[in-house]
C-alpha cells in the first residue's frame, strides 16, 4: 500500500528478542532514583504527566524512562517518539540514553526537536500539501524579504505596516495551527484588515517557491494528519510511546500534533514545570500543561519535588517569589542540602557601578577571597532580562581584562557572510530557490542592479519559471545588455557547473563548496574588503567549510543548518558567562548574578502593558527561573539610576525584591545609600514594615562588612564618590604615536595615529578605536584613573 511502512529506518539488532532476554535481568538503571522518579519511569502505559520542578532530575527520569521502555521490550528504539524544543536538549538526551544502553543500540531516529521531526515527516508526505519533498526551509530573514515583496505588490506602505509585524501576525496564527482558511473572523481586522489575504498570498507564494517557514513545518504536518487519517493512523501505531520535554512551552500547533499522534494508545508522557513557562510571548500555552488531566483522563501525575541543585536558602527565596502567582499546579521543592549562603541583595548607585561591583566580586570569588578555594569563572553567570543590559558588563570586563563569554549574540548561521555563502549552496542544490538567488545575484557586486533583476523577475513570472531559469533564457535571447550581461552569464554558467558536480554522488562536496565560493568571487570580495570585520568574516567562511566535512553532501548540510543553532567555538580559557534569563533555562551555575531588578526593567514594563497580570506572572516565573539556576551563591542587584535611551532615569527596586522572603536574604546595601533597597522609598507599601526591619541591621551584616573590607584592601575608599569624576587630569596632555596609554573603558593600548584631539588607538582587548584624547591617560598613570 505505501512505501513508508518500514518508516525508512533500519531496525538494527533484533531488539525484541534481546529485550526479552534483558527483561529478566535486574534493572541497574533504576538504582539511585528517588521514589517519584521511579514512579515516573515505571508508569509506562497510558498518559503520564511528570511535573518536574527546577533541578529535580527531570532529564534523568526521562532518559531512564526511555531506557526502561526499550529494556522491557515495550518498544524498539525507532518506535519511541521523543520530542524536545532545542537541539541541545535532544543531543543531551540522545547521549544519555546511549550511555545507559551501551553501544549496542543504534541512535533513536525519532528523538529530536519538534521541528526536526516535522521536517522528516513532511519530506515523506510533502505532496499531500502541494510541496515537493526537496522543499527549502526559510529562516526569518527570507520570510521578511518575501513578505516585503508581497506588501509592495499589494501597494501597502511598509512603513506604516511593516513586514516584521505581518510576520508576527502570521507566526501567531501558525502557532495556533490556523491555516488561511481557518483564521477566525475575529482576527480579520489585524494588519489593516488585510492580514488574512496577505497570509493566503504568502502561503501560495511559499508553495510556488517549494519552500516552508518554521511555522509551516508543524502546521503542514498537522494538516496532513487531520486530512489523511490513513497516514495519521500509521504513525499512531508506529509510535508506541511518546515523550515530550518542556511541555509547558508547547504552543497550540504542537499540542494538536501531540494529541493527534497519541490519539490511539495514549501512551504519552509529558514532562514540564508550569512555574518555568516563560515563552508565552511566542505562543506557548501554559494552559496545555494545566489542562493535561482534563485532556487525558485517568492520567498518572507524578511530581518531582526533591531538588538536587540548590541550597536551602536559594530554594526558599525562589519559592517565596513564585508563590505570588495564581493558578499554579503547585509543587513544593525541598532539598537535603545544607542551608548554604543566603541570597545576597545589593543596591547600587547606577548601572555602571553595578557592573563594577559584579566584576570585582567575580574576581574576588575566583581568587577565593571568601576563605574557600575559589570558584572558576566557568562556574559563574550573569543573567539579565534584556540583552542590552549586557553591554555595561562587557565594557567593564574588557577594561579590567576579565574573560567573559556572551551567549545569545547573533548566531553563527545568521551572520551575513554565512547566509550569503549558504545562498550559493542553496541555489546549487535547488535551482528554484528564488530567495537565495535574489540574495546573491549581485553579491559580490557584479553590475546586476535593480533594473536587470526586475526584467528577470518579469520574465520569470511570465514564463512561470524560477529566476535562475529566466535569467538563462534572457541571456540566450540576448535581452540582457551592458555590464550585467557578461557577469550574469558567468554566474548562470557557474551554477550549471556546480549543480552538475553536486548531483554527482562521487564528488567531494567540501571541495565543491570551496570552488563555489572561489569562482563566484565571494571569497575575493571579503579579501578586498578593508573593513575591520572582514578578516573575521573570512574566518567564519573557513569554519563553515570545515563544518561541511561532517555531512555527506550539501543538501544534508543545508538541512542541518536550517534547523540548528549551534554556536560552537573553542572554549579553552575560563570565562564568566553573560546571558539572558531566557537563555539560561535548563542550565545551572554554582554562582549566579541577577542584576537589574528594577521596576520597568524586570518586570519589564512592556510585558506588563501588553499582557497585564498574565505578563507579570510570566515575569515572575522568569525571576524564579533565574534564582533556581544557582547552586550555591545567588546575588541579586539593582541600581537607583540607569540610563534608558540616553536619558538618566531614577529606578525603583523591583517588586520581586519585596517578594523575597526575608529569612533567606542577606542585605549588603547600607540603608539610605543609593536611594534604594529593601526598605527604601518606592517599595510596595504593604512590604515596607517588614523590609525596614530587614535592612535595619544591614550595616552589621557579615556581607556588608566583607564588602567593605575587600574594597579597602583594594584601595577603594568610599565605594562611589569617585565614580563620577571625569578624567580631566590629562586634559591638556598630548600624545605621540606609539605611546602606550590607558582608557577607562577599553583598557591598555598603543596610539597608532593622532588627529587633533582624536587618537587612533589599538587596544589590547577592545581592538582599534578612535578616542578623544582627554579620555585617555599615559599607561604609567593608569592608577590615577578613578574606578
Partner DNA sequence: CCAAGGCCGGTTTTT
Partner DNA sequence: CCGGCCTTGG
Closest CA to 97 of 201, 196, 239, 243: 243
| Binding-residue pattern over the window 198 to 237 for DNA, x denoting contact by CB under 7 A | ----------------x-----------------------
Q: Which of 142, 246, 295, 353 is catalytic?
A: 246
The DSSP line for 514-547 is HHHHHHTTHHHHHHH--STTHHHHHHHHHHHHHH
Judge whether 586 and 279 are in contact, CB under 8 Å: no
Can 705 be counted among the known catalytic residues?
A: no
Can 246 be counted among the known catalytic residues?
A: yes
Q: Which of 250, 276, 300, 430 is catalytic?
A: 276
Which of 563, 729, 778, 782 contacts DNA by CB under 7 A? 563
d(CA 272, CA 269): 10
Q: Is 607 in the site for DNA (CB under 7 A)?
A: yes
Q: Is 564 in the site for DNA (CB under 7 A)?
A: yes
Q: Which of 59, 149, 555, 711 is catalytic?
A: 59
Residue nearer to DNA on the CB measure, 483 or 705: 483
d(CA 312, CA 573): 32
Q: Is 386 in the site for DNA (CB under 7 A)?
A: yes
Q: Which of 79, 245, 352, 417 is catalytic?
A: 245
Q: Is 450 in the site for DNA (CB under 7 A)?
A: yes
> What is the per-residue burial (b if ≥16 Cβ within 10 Å, else e) of 240-268?
bbbbbbbbbbbbbbbbbbbbbbbeeebbb
Which of 12, 73, 324, 408 contacts DNA by CB under 7 A? 408
* Smallest separation, CB 404 to DNA (Å): 16
Binding residue count for DNA, defined by CB under 7 A: 40
Can 428 be counted among the known catalytic residues?
A: no
Q: Helix, strand or coil for residue 604?
A: strand
The C-alpha angle 516, 518, 520, rounded to 5 degrees, equals 65
Residue nearer to DNA on the CB measure, 43 or 581: 581
> What is the per-residue burial (b if ≥16 Cβ within 10 Å, else e) of 411-422?
ebbebebbbbbb
d(CA 557, CA 547): 8
Residues whose CB falls within 8 Å of the CB of residue 202, separated by 6 or more in sequence, listed in order: 146, 147, 150, 170
* Smallest separation, CB 394 to DNA (Å): 12
**Binding segment (CB under 7 A) for DNA, from list 200-208, 440-448, 531-539, 755-763:** 440-448
CB atoms within 10 A of CB 553: 18
* Smallest separation, CB 597 to DNA (Å): 15
Which of 140, 182, 227, 649 contacts DNA by CB under 7 A? 140
Q: How many residues does the chain have?
A: 787
* Smallest separation, CB 568 to DNA (Å): 13
Q: Is 169 in the site for DNA (CB under 7 A)?
A: no
Q: Is 544 in the site for DNA (CB under 7 A)?
A: no
Q: Is 411 in the site for DNA (CB under 7 A)?
A: yes
Q: Is 500 in the site for DNA (CB under 7 A)?
A: no
* Smallest separation, CB 152 to DNA (Å): 10
The values of phi and psi at residue 89, to 5°, are -65, -40
* Smallest separation, CB 584 to DNA (Å): 9
| Binding-residue pattern over the window 120 to 139 for DNA, x denoting contact by CB under 7 A | -------------------x
Residue nearer to DNA on the CB measure, 281 or 550: 281
| Binding-residue pattern over the window 632 to 671 for DNA, x denoting contact by CB under 7 A | -------------xx-------------------------
**Binding segment (CB under 7 A) for DNA, from list 180-188, 363-371, 465-473, 563-571:** 563-571
Q: Is 335 in the site for DNA (CB under 7 A)?
A: no
* Smallest separation, CB 746 to DNA (Å): 14
Q: Is 615 in the site for DNA (CB under 7 A)?
A: yes
* Cell numbers describing residue 417: 557572510
Residue nearer to DNA on the CB measure, 73 or 409: 409
Long-range contacts of 104-109 (CB under 8 A, 24+ apart): 104/13, 104/18, 105/12, 105/13, 105/15, 105/70, 105/77, 106/10, 106/12, 106/13, 106/77, 107/77, 108/66, 108/77, 108/78, 108/80, 108/82, 109/7, 109/9, 109/77, 109/78
Residue nearer to DNA on the CB measure, 370 or 769: 769
SS (H, E, C) 68-88: HHHHCCCCCHHHEEEEECCHH
Closest CA to 381 of 586, 590, 570: 590
CB atoms within 10 A of CB 481: 10
Q: Which of 56, 58, 236, 599 is catalytic?
A: 58
Residue nearer to DNA on the CB measure, 85 or 235: 85
Which of 583, 590, 675, 786 contacts DNA by CB under 7 A? 583
How far, CA to CA in Å, does 284 sit from each of 143, 289, 604? 21, 10, 19
The C-alpha angle 122, 124, 129, rounded to 5 degrees, equals 55
**Binding segment (CB under 7 A) for DNA, from list 57-65, 127-135, 384-392, 536-544:** 384-392
**Binding segment (CB under 7 A) for DNA, from list 44-52, 319-327, 350-358, 382-390:** 382-390
How far, CA to CA in Å, does 502 sit from each of 509, 518, 539, 545? 7, 16, 24, 15
The values of phi and psi at residue 244, to 5°, are -130, 130
* Smallest separation, CB 93 to DNA (Å): 13
The values of phi and psi at residue 409, to 5°, are -75, -165
Residue nearer to DNA on the CB measure, 282 or 542: 282
Can 59 be counted among the known catalytic residues?
A: yes
d(CA 136, CA 211): 5
Residue nearer to DNA on the CB measure, 31 or 450: 450
Q: Is 175 in the site for DNA (CB under 7 A)?
A: no
Q: Which of 629, 635, 642, 658 is catalytic?
A: 629
The values of phi and psi at residue 262, to 5°, are -90, 0
Residue nearer to DNA on the CB measure, 142 or 274: 142
**Binding segment (CB under 7 A) for DNA, from list 337-345, 533-541, 562-570, 627-635:** 562-570
Q: Is 556 in the site for DNA (CB under 7 A)?
A: no
> What is the per-residue burial (b if ≥16 Cβ within 10 Å, else e) of 57-66?
bbbbbbbbbb
d(CA 314, CA 630): 7
Q: Is 385 in the site for DNA (CB under 7 A)?
A: yes
d(CA 332, CA 52): 11
| Binding-residue pattern over the window 82 to 121 for DNA, x denoting contact by CB under 7 A | ---xxxx------------------------xxxx-----
Q: Is 388 in the site for DNA (CB under 7 A)?
A: yes
* Smallest separation, CB 654 to DNA (Å): 14
* Smallest separation, CB 561 to DNA (Å): 10
* Smallest separation, CB 623 to DNA (Å): 12
**Residue where the block lists cell 535595619:** 696
d(CA 319, CA 324): 9
Q: Is 486 in the site for DNA (CB under 7 A)?
A: no
Can 58 be counted among the known catalytic residues?
A: yes
List binders of DNA among 269-308 (CB under 7 A). 281-282
Residue nearer to DNA on the CB measure, 266 or 439: 439
Can 432 be counted among the known catalytic residues?
A: no
* Cell numbers describing residue 222: 498537522
* Cell numbers describing residue 645: 535611551
Give the active site residues. Answer: 58-59, 245-246, 276, 629
In the complex, the residues that contact DNA under the rule CB under 7 A are 85-88, 113-116, 139-140, 148, 214, 281-282, 385-388, 408, 411, 442, 445, 447-450, 563-565, 579-580, 582-583, 604, 606-607, 610, 615, 645-646
Amino acid at each position: 500500500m505505501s512505501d513508508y511502512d518500514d518508516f525508512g529506518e533500519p531496525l538494527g539488532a533484533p531488539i525484541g528478542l534481546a529485550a526479552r532476554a534483558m527483561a529478566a535481568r535486574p534493572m541497574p538503571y533504576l538504582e539511585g532514583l528517588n521514589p517519584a522518579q521511579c514512579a515516573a519511569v515505571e508508569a509506562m502505559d497510558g498518559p503520564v504527566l511528570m511535573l518536574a520542578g527546577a533541578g529535580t532530575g527531570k532529564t534523568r527520569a526521562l532518559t531512564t524512562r526511555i531506557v526502561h521502555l526499550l529494556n522491557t521490550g515495550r518498544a524498539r528504539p525507532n518506535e519511541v517518539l521523543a520530542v524536545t524544543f532545542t537541539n541541545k536538549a535532544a543531543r543531551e538526551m540522545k547521549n544519555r540514553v546511549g550511555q545507559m544502553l551501551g553501544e549496542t543500540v543504534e541512535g533513536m531516529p525519532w528523538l529530536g526537536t519538534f521541528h526536526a521531526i516535522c521536517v522528516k515527516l513532511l519530506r515523506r508526505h510533502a505532496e499531500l500539501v502541494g510541496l515537493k519533498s526537496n522543499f527549502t526551509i526559510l529562516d526569518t530573514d527570507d520570510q521578511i524579504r518575501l513578505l516585503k515583496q508581497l506588501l509592495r505588490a499589494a501597494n501597502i506602505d511598509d512603513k506604516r505596516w511593516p513586514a516584521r509585524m505581518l510576520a508576527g501576525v502570521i507566526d501567531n496564527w501558525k502557532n495556533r495551527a490556523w491555516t488561511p482558511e481557518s483564521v477566525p473572523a475575529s482576527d480579520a481586522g489585524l494588519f489593516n484588515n488585510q492580514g488574512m489575504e496577505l497570509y493566503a498570498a504568502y502561503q501560495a507564494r511559499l508553495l510556488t517557491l517549494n519552500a516552508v517557514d518554521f511555522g509551516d513545518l508543524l502546521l503542514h504536518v498537522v494538516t496532513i494528519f487531520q486530512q489523511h487519517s490513513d497516514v495519521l493512523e500509521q504513525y499512531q501505531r508506529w509510535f508506541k510511546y511518546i515523550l515530550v520535554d518542556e511541555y509547558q512551552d508547547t504552543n497550540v500547533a504542537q499540542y494538536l500534533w501531540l494529541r493527534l499522534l497519541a490519539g490511539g494508545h495514549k501512551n504519552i508522557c509529558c514532562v514540564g514545570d508550569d512555574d518555568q513557562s516563560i515563552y508565552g510571548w511566542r505562543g506557548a500555552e501554559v494552559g496545555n500543561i494545566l489542562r493535561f488531566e482534563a485532556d487525558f483522563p485517568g492520567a498518572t501525575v507524578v511530581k518531582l519535588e526533591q531538588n538536587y541543585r540548590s541550597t536551602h536558602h536559594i530554594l526558599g527565596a525562589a519559592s517565596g517569589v513564585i508563590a505570588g502567582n495564581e493558578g499554579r499546579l503547585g509543587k513544593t521543592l525541598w532539598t537535603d542540602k545544607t542551608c548554604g549562603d543566603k541570597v545576597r541583595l545589593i543596591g547600587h548607585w547606577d548601572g555602571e557601578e553595578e557592573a563594577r561591583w559584579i566584576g570585582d566580586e567575580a574576581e574576588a570569588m575566583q581568587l577565593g577571597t571568601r576563605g574557600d578555594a575559589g570558584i572558576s569563572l566557568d562556574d559563574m553567570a550573569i543573567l539579565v532580562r534584556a540583552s542590552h543590559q549586557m553591554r555595561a558588563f562587557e565594557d567593564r570586563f574588557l577594561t579590567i581584562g576579565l574573560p567573559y563569554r556572551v551567549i545569545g549574540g547573533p548566531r553563527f548561521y545568521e551572520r551575513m557572510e554565512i547566509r550569503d555563502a549558504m545562498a550559493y549552496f542553496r541555489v546549487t542544490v535547488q535551482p528554484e530557490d528564488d530567495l537565495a538567488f535574489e540574495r546573491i545575484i549581485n553579491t559580490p557586486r557584479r553590475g546586476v542592479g535593480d533594473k536587470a533583476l526586475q526584467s528577470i523577475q518579469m520574465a520569470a513570472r511570465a514564463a512561470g519559471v524560477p529566476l535562475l531559469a529566466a535569467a538563462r533564457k534572457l541571456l540566450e535571447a540576448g535581452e540582457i545588455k551592458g555590464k550585467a550581461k557578461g557577469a550574469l552569464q558567468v554566474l548562470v554558467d557557474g551554477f550549471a557547473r556546480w549543480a552538475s558536480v553536486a548531483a554527482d554522488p562521487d564528488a567531494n562536496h567540501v571541495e565543491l563548496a570551496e570552488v563555489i565560493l572561489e569562482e563566484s568571487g565571494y571569497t575575493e570580495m571579503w579579501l578586498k574588503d578593508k573593513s575591520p570585520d572582514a578578516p573575521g568574516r573570512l574566518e567564519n567562511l573557513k569554519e563553515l567549510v570545515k563544518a561541511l566535512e561532517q555531512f555527506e553532501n550539501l543538501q544534508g548540510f543545508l538541512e542541518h543548518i536550517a534547523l540548528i543553532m549551534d554556536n560552537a567555538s573553542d572554549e579553552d580559557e575560563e570565562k564568566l558567562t553573560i546571558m539572558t534569563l531566557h537563555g539560561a533555562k535548563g542550565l545551572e551555575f554554582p554562582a549566579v548574578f541577577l542584576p537589574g531588578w528594577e521596576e520597568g526593567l524586570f518586570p519589564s514594563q512592556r510585558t506588563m502593558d501588553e499582557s497585564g497580570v498574565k505578563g507579570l506572572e510570566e515575569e515572575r516565573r522568569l525571576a524564579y527561573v533565574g534564582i533556581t539556576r544557582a547552586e550555591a551563591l545567588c546575588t541579586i542587584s539593582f541600581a537607583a539610576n540607569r540610563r534608558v535611551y540616553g536619558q538618566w532615569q531614577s529606578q525603583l527596586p523591583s517588586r520581586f525584591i519585596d517578594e523575597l522572603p526575608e529569612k533567606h536574604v542577606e542585605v549588603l546595601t547600607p540603608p539610605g545609600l543609593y536611594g534604594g533597597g529593601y526598605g527604601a522609598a518606592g517599595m510596595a507599601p504593604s512590604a515596607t514594615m517588614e523590609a525596614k526591619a530587614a535592612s535595619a541591621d544591614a550595616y552589621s551584616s557579615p556581607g556588608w562588612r566583607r564588602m567593605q573590607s575587600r574594597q579597602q584592601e583594594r584601595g577603594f575608599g568610599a565605594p562611589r564618590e569617585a565614580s563620577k569624576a571625569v578624567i580631566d587630569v590629562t586634559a591638556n596632555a598630548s600624545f605621540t604615536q606609539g605611546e602606550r596609554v590607558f582608557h577607562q573603558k577599553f583598557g591598555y593600548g598603543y596610539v597608532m595615529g593622532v588627529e587633533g584631539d582624536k587618537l587612533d588607538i589599538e587596544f589590547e582587548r577592545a581592538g582599534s578605536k578612535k578616542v578623544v584624547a582627554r579620555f585617555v591617560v599615559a599607561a604609567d598613570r593608569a592608577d590615577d584613573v578613578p574606578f
